Each structure stands twice: as structure tokens, then as C-alpha cells.
């Protein structure tokens, strides 16, 4: 599997519910970022978590990082219809000799929030 | 403070024509990255440029594709003799001079290239 794979591929919930998306990666990283992409639009940066951090909050977003399991999760609380979008995690190559600027994206999780 | 700007937003080219995609980074950003997104795929890194320098073009096809970031003006991604497989969304991102590594990349709205 490729670096930065999101799970599930698609998620459909009702407004007000929480949405959890997961991301797994293979090599060591310096940081992991989450982005949102509305249909046919560009990417919006949501949050960056560094490899020495375990949890980070931003508004209704909560990101966790478990470097021992090489995984991250994005939790959106009290979801809204406007949260409907694709969500991507992106990793850099970290200290494995790779290039830190080279972000590797997964295929994303398509979140649908039904009103 | 304007974000990353890309133009055109949509571009239609016939097979064999040339496509030129432009990217103006955020003000104060001197690092530019190009990514390609095929339908229902994640973004794939193509090239990383600083002013007048190509730093890493390892993700760019060896033939027909080229990129530049001149001292003045936007960064250009050029695709010669386009083929149907080049149809994709091309995104540009930029990051600030003082923090080029392991930091947030700010993305433009993308250029959607359709080759007919």
C-alpha cells in the first residue's frame, strides 16, 4: 500500500454526528498534514501535526498521531452539511533520507454529511 | 493577502497541442511545488522549484513536461504534445522562504486540463 492511505474510502453520516477518518503511512515522518478538498476545487490546509506531537485540536477538528503504529486520525465533531468534502492526509518523507518537501497524499476519504 | 493563484482554471487542448499552466505563489513565498491529481486519486508530487532553480523534478515525466520559475513572473508548467493521459487537475503549492521544509504548503485552486 502507498504512503498516506486514508480509511474509509467513503463515509456518510447525519448532521450533528462525529466523523472519524484514519490515515496510515509506511516510512518515518517529520509531520503529517490533513487537507480538505471540495468537489472540483483546490485543497484547503486543515491542520499539521509534528512527529513529536500526539494530539492537536483546531476548532471542531481533532487530530491524533501514533508514530509507533504509523497512523493518524482526523475527528470532526458535530458535523455540518458544509463539511461534505474529500479529506486527504499528506506526509513528508521524514528522516528516512527522503525529501521533506515532497508531500505524499492518499486517495482520500469522501465524507458526506446529510442534513 | 491573496493566496496561490493559478490560471487558467480550465484548459482544453487537442492531442498534440501544448499546454501552459501558470502559478503565482503567495506573497513572500519563494518555493513552488507542482502536483498532479488524476481522477479519484490523491495528489502526486511532480516538481519543486525555487526562483530560477529546479530543486527536484523526480516526479515529472522525463519527456514532454518541463517547469520553470523565473526571477520575475509566475511559475510555468509546460506540457508539449499533450495526450489524453495528461488530462488531470494540476495543482501548484507554495511555502515561505524561511520555512521550506516540513511546513505547510498552501495550494492554489488548480488547473483542470482536458485533452480531447
What does the buried/exposed string (b/e) look like for A75-95 if buried means 16 or more CB atoms within 10 Å of the residue's CB? ebeebeeebbbbbbbbbbbbe
Question: For the segment B4-34, what is each residue's pLDDT rounded down to a tens digit?
Answer: 999 999 999 999 999 999 999 998 888 999 9
B104 in contact with chain A, both atoms CB, cutoff 8 A: yes
Which one of A88, A100, A102 has the shortest CB-CB distance to B42?
A88
Set of chain B residues whose Cβ sits within 8 Å of the Cβ of A100: 101-102
Ramachandran bin of B47, using left for φ above 0, alpha for ψ from -120 to 50, beta for the remaining angles: beta
Residue B109 is classified by DSSP as -
Question: For the segment B32-86, what is each residue's pLDDT rounded down to a tens digit?
Answer: 999 999 887 888 999 999 989 999 999 999 999 999 999 999 999 999 999 999 9
Determine the Cα–Cα distance for residues A48 and A32; give it in Å rounded to an integer: 6
Amino acid at each position: 500500500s502507498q504512503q498516506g492511505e486514508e480509511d474509509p474510502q467513503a463515509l456518510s453520516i447525519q448532521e450533528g454526528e462525529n466523523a472519524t477518518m484514519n490515515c496510515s503511512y509506511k516510512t518515518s515522518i517529520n509531520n503529517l498534514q490533513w487537507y480538505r478538498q471540495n468537489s472540483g476545487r483546490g485543497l484547503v490546509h486543515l491542520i499539521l501535526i509534528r512527529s513529536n506531537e500526539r494530539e492537536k485540536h483546531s476548532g471542531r477538528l481533532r487530530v491524533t498521531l501514533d508514530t509507533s503504529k504509523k497512523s493518524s486520525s482526523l475527528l470532526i465533531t458535530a458535523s455540518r452539511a458544509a463539511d461534505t468534502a474529500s479529506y486527504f492526509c499528506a506526509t513528508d518523507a521524514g528522516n528516512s533520507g527522503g525529501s521533506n518537501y515532497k508531500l505524499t497524499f492518499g486517495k482520500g476519504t469522501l465524507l458526506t454529511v446529510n442534513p | 493577502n491573496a493566496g496561490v493563484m493559478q490560471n487558467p482554471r480550465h484548459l482544453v487542448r487537442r492531442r498534440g497541442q501544448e499546454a501552459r499552466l501558470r502559478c503565482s505563489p503567495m506573497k513572500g513565498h519563494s518555493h513552488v511545488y507542482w502536483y498532479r491529481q488524476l481522477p479519484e486519486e490523491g495528489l502526486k508530487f511532480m516538481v519543486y522549484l525555487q526562483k530560477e532553480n529546479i530543486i527536484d523534478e523526480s516526479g515529472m515525466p522525463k519527456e514532454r513536461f518541463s517547469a520553470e520559475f523565473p526571477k520575475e513572473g509566475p511559475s510555468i508548467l509546460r506540457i508539449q504534445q499533450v495526450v489524453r493521459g495528461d488530462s488531470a487537475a494540476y495543482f501548484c503549492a507554495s511555502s515561505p522562504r524561511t520555512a521550506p521544509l516540513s511546513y505547510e504548503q498552501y495550494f492554489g485552486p488548480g488547473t483542470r486540463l482536458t485533452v480531447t
